[in-house]
């Protein structure tokens, strides 16, 4: 996000964004089937003993999240 200036470069001396969840995350990059252009990124974080990043600001309804 350096182009838009959302992140402070001094916070990332390795020139990469990282956090405590990187060891249990699988990164993805998304490409448009229509244009062939890269359109987004995401990561899938497995829920182990730690909390998910969203849980720092929100409460997850366990009943809904564990339905099959």
In a domain, 1, yes or no: no
Average pLDDT over the chain reads 78
In a domain, 2, yes or no: no
In a domain, 4, yes or no: no
Beta-sheet pairing, 25-31 with 38-45: antiparallel
In a domain, 59, yes or no: yes
- Give residue 1's pLDDT: 45
Q: State the residue range of the domain holding 46.
A: 9-65
pTM for this predicted structure: 0.49
Number of domains in the chain: 1
Using the Cα atoms of residue 13, residue 16, residue 21 and residue 24 in order, give the sign of their dihedral.
negative
Contacts of 51 (CB under 8 A, 6+ apart): none
In a domain, 49, yes or no: yes
In a domain, 25, yes or no: yes
pLDDT digits (tens, 9 = 90+) for 7-35: 777 887 887 777 778 888 888 999 999 99
In a domain, 32, yes or no: yes
């Amino acid at each position: 996000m350096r182009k838009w200036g959302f992140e402070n470069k001094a916070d990332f001396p390795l020139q990469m964004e990282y956090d405590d969840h990187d060891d249990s995350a699988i990164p993805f990059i998304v490409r448009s089937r229509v244009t062939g252009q890269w359109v987004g990124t995401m990561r899938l974080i497995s829920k182990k003993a730690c909390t998910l990043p969203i849980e720092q600001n929100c409460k997850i309804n366990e009943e809904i999240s564990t339905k099959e």
